[in-house]
Structure 1
């Protein structure tokens, strides 16, 4: 029996390694946490936490990828109450099956040669706050997530590392979650308000990296530029420098809309390019050497798009080699990659 603990309000649950898959191995049944209510492993509405597990095979049967779903945050009682009736607040709204058919997460050896036969776990997001993970007797393992889930993967990366044997190879992958803080940005600064709400409503400060919270306002320790230097476990960051949520929260919704419709004024485009420069300036540098960076210029959030080389090869090379990796698209012009026919990773 392998144990996985994930807690937001506190999510604590057990995953059986022998979980079975459907005839189509890319679609798996939803599994509820064993004795979830007794352990406090519940969503916002009190329903039991759940997960999807696609079993690894062959030489990948001991390797794990755990993906934490994103979906923003609720930072006040009204938002959390409204959220509690949605698929981001109650497991009663989760799909009964999930198709593991996205790039990096499918079992196709042609499109996903690096990770197709690993154990893959998808953890739906239903607490509106944060996750952490505990998985015993596995090697290697990747803790990953997108958006709010990617932020959680970075925040809890060292805790995840510490719960595994010291000899295990453990790394973390954060997709579309390198949100920045800049007091001088001419925008709405919604991230600051959201994160302050998480501290006051969810009591999240104790779950944040202590080396960060001991030096500054805990709400600022949701920003990777402040806490990631304190994380010792290798982390790979995949994101667009024109991330839609980054633009919406740090500038304004109108900027995101004009970007999607390709009708931004020169002034607004310049503001977004300035934000891009700031994001790039705050990315991890070559020290520590165990960081990885993959940045595109696509107008996108969550899955980054690829160009020139495949995302999977870059990620796999970093995971195996362990040295500093940086791939940044050299374009200050935002691109609508979906309309150009460029596929996500």
Structure 2
């Protein structure tokens, strides 16, 4: 096992390289809405959709990356109904175009060396169910709403399979996503492999998607949240509301009870596809928006104790991924961030130089290296953390 520890190599990160001119003209993708008859609906019943940017080199014609957008989740009537007047609940508010310029769906070959020229598909998030829901028919039990995140992915994949020279010709496919989209990668990645058949190598690359049950901070200055409760006892009700699709091997191991398989920390050992996690070990959004830590981190002495325990749990979760045979990899930083991963920061040392998450992923995916990178210096210890 290779684990890179604590202090960074002493060197300032170089400024981001300029984007590839040849790719710039092709990185704005139009919105395609799914048919009205689809099961892949938003909360309000409007059909969801996707943005497709075709590959920009002949070498990448059969390579595809699908990105699941993030945006929280809802588990209460008030929270869910509040999402209906925006793109997180209705496709009526989707942007007509999407620029491929973030994370692993960036057209900049210098900062995204692994996938810059691939076919890129961005899936907007409007189901509030962590991309797992299979409740396509509204009912009183679902507040009159649909929770159909898995069906959205299913419908988009079906359309892409039917395109000439489409997903059916794929040799390599990466399913990625950030935040809620990152959580949605793990339960769906083996399913995606099954849809494509044995000719395609399918990989999961969650960003801010490795989580576990957590009791909230209840010390001085604690807040509250209208996002989903992450305590273990709350997950059965989330499962009842969303009717989630989860990995079938995990489901079988838990006697067809879905909720233990909804978070990656408990389901990853059942996943056959290779996985690479990009994760903050002191996740800002989960700590403040789910776990009641005050945003100003005051009083620090009490808050720090809670974050230290949370961080140790994340360290343990990352160490549990160090499985060479299963092709796991990770990039875990001690930063008070959620999805703020860029070519400039945060960085971790690898082979004598400081690398970003995208460079670490490239070494793991393209060069087939064992990449288990994380800080061990304590709370917010990485000196390259974004401010």
The verdict on a shared fold, with TM-score over 0.5 as the criterion, is yes
Q: Distance in 1 between matches of 2:99 and 2:71?
A: 19
Match of residue 246 from structure 2: 208
Q: Distance in 1 between matches of 2:76 and 2:237?
A: 6
Residue 156 of structure 1: how far off its partner (Å): 0.8
Contact kept, 8 Å, 1:174 with 1:236, in 2: the verdict is yes
Q: 1:280 aligns with which of 300, 315, 331?
A: 315
Contact kept, 8 Å, 2:42 with 2:127, in 1: the verdict is yes
Match of residue 240 from structure 1: 280
Residue 82 of structure 1: how far off its partner (Å): 2.1
**Cα deviations across residues 177-224 of structure 1 (Å, max 9, x unaligned)?**
1111256986879213764343121222xx112333442753232221
Contact kept, 8 Å, 2:114 with 2:365, in 1: the verdict is no
Contact kept, 8 Å, 1:238 with 1:294, in 2: the verdict is yes
SS state of the match for residue 190, structure 1? Answer: coil
SS state of the match for residue 287, structure 2? Answer: helix
Contact kept, 8 Å, 2:178 with 2:208, in 1: the verdict is yes
Alignment TM-score, normalising by the size of structure 1: 0.81
**Cα deviations across residues 25-49 of structure 1 (Å, max 9, x unaligned)?**
222221212xx22122221112121
Alignment TM-score, normalising by the size of structure 2: 0.73
**Cα deviations across residues 44-85 of structure 1 (Å, max 9, x unaligned)?**
112121111111022112111100001111223333222122
Alignment of 1:338 with 2:386, yes or no, is yes
Q: 2:184 aligns with which of 143, 147, 152?
A: 152
Where do 5+ consecutive residues of structure 1 fail to align?
A: 1-21, 340-345
Where do 5+ consecutive residues of structure 2 fail to align?
A: 1-22, 132-149, 158-166, 348-353
Match of residue 177 from structure 1: 209
SS state of the match for residue 196, structure 1? Answer: helix
Residue 270 of structure 1: how far off its partner (Å): 2.0
Residue 237 of structure 1: how far off its partner (Å): 0.6
Contact kept, 8 Å, 1:289 with 1:324, in 2: the verdict is no
Match of residue 32 from structure 1: 33
Residue 277 of structure 1: how far off its partner (Å): 0.7
Q: 1:231 aligns with which of 271, 277, 284?
A: 271
Higher RCO, Cα 8 Å, sep 6+: 2
Counterparts of 1:18-29 in structure 2, within 5 Å, are 24-29=25-30
Match of residue 107 from structure 2: 107
Q: Distance in 2 between matches of 1:182 and 1:338?
A: 25
Contact kept, 8 Å, 2:183 with 2:206, in 1: the verdict is yes
Q: Distance in 1 between matches of 2:96 and 2:378?
A: 43
Number of equivalences: 309
Contact kept, 8 Å, 2:250 with 2:261, in 1: the verdict is yes
Aligned-CA RMSD value:
2.6
Q: Distance in 1 between matches of 2:240 and 2:106?
A: 39
